[in-house]
A and B are shown apart, each in its own frame.
Chain A
Amino acid sequence: MLAGLLAGAADIGPGRVVLQLLDWLPFVSVDSGLTPVEQGLLFELRLPRVLLAAIVGGLLAIAGAGYQGVFRNPLADPYLLGAAAGAGLTTTVAIVFMKGDNQALLVPAAAFAGAVGGVLLAYALGNVAGRGGGTATLVLAGVAVSSFLTAIQTFLQQLKVEELQRVYAWILGDVGGGWTQIALVAPYAVVSVAIMMLHGRLLDVLSVGDDEAVSLGLDATRVRLVVLFAASLATAAAVAVSGLIGFVGIVVPHVVRRLAGGSYRVVLPLSLIGGAAFLVLADLIARTVLAPAELPIGVVTAFVGAPFFVAVLRVTKRVET
């Protein structure tokens, strides 16, 4: 977090940033030597950006852990059930067809609705297709819904090729946005994280198998639904403010599991922290490598994340997940 605040395209010395942060603390007054413009920059641009990266990273990672727990599948990620495709479609519609100066609010609203809608659609379809078919049916429904929605999105994009670049930029992800974005995402973040934290122990029970869970007096289906709901809410909130940032949701929970064991009571909170740290770091790289130009953060997460993931897998070869 601190590193993210200290570095950036604008040239403000790290030392002075620390002083300025101290100055903002109540009852402390230090002269940091920053001009008002630099202070504004730090407070209006850099601080919210670092916070947003942390929130989004944490949400995606914990949602990924939640999904992996529900589906008992290490390859599950927060976008599995159509959240990404749904958000992609509605955002494309918002960008392409709803011109206006309220796009700053319209796009997150559309992305959120699309992410939630995509998951609901997959869930409804899964239920219709196979009563009691369990998670496999749901995953397949998610795949179908994702493909279908992505097809519509692609069709719309090629109708309006001139908007392609804007849609593409959104898909690659961006955690700049200021305090408004943080205000938008905060309530959903708090609710979804709280629900998932409360269900960590139950996910542990689920992981041993449904029969055992039932014998322990646990309503497996209900737990799955609740966690799925919370994880999808977290994903939707993250997508709404930052676009489709890949890799965080699938990798971070695995890294945590490798390093700290498989109990969801541990994995969920650590994923939250790990995801936050990972995305802050990725954003830091995105902001500084080509400064003053920026890379889209989605590029960085995959580029940095993949080798890192391989390294973790190698180091922890002995540990069985």
Chain B
Amino acid sequence: MRPVRTAFAGALLGVLALAGCGQSSTTASPSAAPATAAPATAAGFPVTVEAGNGSVVLTQKPGRIVSLSPTATESLFAIGAGPQVVAVDDQSDYPAEAPKSDLSGFKPNVEAILARKPDLIVLANDLDDVVSELKKVGVPVLLEPAATKLDEAYDQIADLGAATGNKAKADEVVAGMRKQMEELAAAAPKDNKLTYYHELDVTPYAATSGTFIGQIYGLFGLTNIADKAPDAAGGYPKLSAEFVAQADPDLVFLADTKCCAQSRDTIAKRPGWSKLSAVKNDQVIALDDAVASRWGPRVVDLAKQVGDAVRKAVAG
């Protein structure tokens, strides 16, 4: 349960942002564009952006962005659009200065969204036909669904850059990400023959190589034990605990450390898992659930963690 304190603080932040108390939030990037109170028709507008909901035309630079996607929130702040963001959904917990509100990305409430007077809305999924409802009101909506490939993740960051008038900075962020990902992958010991298991939830749900996260592992030449599951089980199969125990992966990555308080100790207590080599050799890597489930700029951090684990496993 989220402590009431943070909920209150989030609401307060949202209220402050609404009341225009001008949070002097400094974005992560030093070269952040200065906040524009009244969006002038900056150079480059109108622009057309190809998003998940087709071509979206923005006539002027948005100054009141509402982001209902934690990934989009991270990207917006990374590309210097932070000052243009007036509200983000209740799951957008990064970066800390994002104006978290009680808006929900899971149960989007059109009226609550419009109460923020947005001139751009970014969503990751179109639940309850929210996109078409918002369209009726005439506010530009960008649907940026979960990426299935790294390139899609890069594209989305570039899209957000174009849509918010931060194209140069966005391209810089993407180029930096590409470079870092390539360097990390190149530095990984080749032909390591290591197997891994990526856990999403204690049931245990896993992710296969075909998923976005699976492709990140793929950069490091790792073999995914979940790939033995038939296609009918989908990209996120519920594996049998027996199978994981017998496959005995070299590396175990836990993406359920926050939601479900999992760790090397807790998985060692599961029936039949105490003898896993990953547990014995201390190769259980605790990921941050949020970093491991988003497709924004922090995939680089995730890749670093994977790279370090691979190096350690090869050395050990």
Contacts and interface: CB of A to CB of B under 8 A. Distances in A.
B261 A45 contact: no
Given A37-B275, A48-B271, A296 B238 contact: yes
Specify which of A9, A158, A178 lies most central, judged by the most chain B CB atoms within 10 Å of its CB. A9
B203 A174 contact: yes
A293 B206 CA distance: 9
A44 B245 CA distance: 10
B261 A36 contact: no
A307 interface: no
Interface in A242-266: none
A174 B202 CA distance: 12
Contact of B261 (A12, A40, A100): A100
A294 B240 contact: yes
Interface string B229-255: 110110001111111011110000000
A166 interface: yes
A212 interface: no
Contacts of A176: 240-241
Nearest to B106: A161
Contact of A36 (B106, B201, B239, B275): B275
B271 A179 contact: yes
Interface residues of A, number: 42
Interface residues of B, number: 34
Contacts of A38: 246
Interface in A299-320: none
A96 B241 CA distance: 24
A146 to B, nearest CB: 24
Contact of A292 (B1, B243, B260): B243
A293 B275 contact: no
A30 interface: no
Contacts of A174: 203
Interface string A20-54: 00000000000000001110110011101000000
Interface string A78-109: 00000000000000000011111101000000
B228 interface: yes
Given A166-B201, A174-B203, A292-B228, A9 B272 contact: no
A18 interface: no
A292 B225 CA distance: 10
Nearest to B1: A97
Nearest to A36: B275
B240 A101 contact: no
Interface string B275-307: 100000000000000000000000000000000
A8 interface: yes
A178 to B, nearest CB: 3
Chain A CB within 10 Å, residue with most, of B107, B226, B238, B260: B238
Contacts of A183: none
Contacts of A293: 229-230, 232-233, 237-240
A137 to B, nearest CB: 38
A224 interface: no
Contact of B1 (A40, A96, A103, A294): A96
A10 B245 contact: yes
A165 B256 CA distance: 13
B60 interface: no
B266 interface: yes
Contacts of B275: 36-37, 40
B232 A41 contact: no
Interface string B3-31: 00000000000000000000000000000
B242 A10 contact: yes
A97 B259 CA distance: 11
B266 A9 contact: no
A208 interface: no
Interface string B188-225: 00000000000001010000000000000000000000
A296 B270 CA distance: 19
A180 B239 CA distance: 21
Contacts of B274: 40
B180 interface: no
A41 B240 contact: no
Given A169-B203, A290-B232, A292-B243, A41 B272 contact: yes
Nearest to A97: B1
A295 to B, nearest CB: 8
Contacts of B259: 99, 162-163, 166
A9 B201 contact: no
A152 interface: no
Given A9-B242, A161-B104, A293-B233, 18 more contacts: A10-B246, A38-B246, A41-B272, A46-B242, A96-B1, A161-B107, A162-B259, A163-B259, A166-B259, A176-B240, A178-B272, A180-B271, A290-B229, A291-B229, A293-B239, A293-B240, A294-B237, A294-B240
6 contacts: A36-B275, A103-B261, A161-B106, A166-B203, A292-B240, A292-B243
Interface of B: 1, 91, 104, 106-107, 201, 203, 226, 228-230, 232-233, 237-243, 245-248, 259-261, 263, 266, 270-272, 274-275
Q: Identify the 10 closest CB pairs spanning chains A and B, nearest first.
A: A178-B271, A293-B233, A292-B243, A293-B237, A161-B106, A10-B246, A44-B272, A9-B243, A293-B229, A9-B240
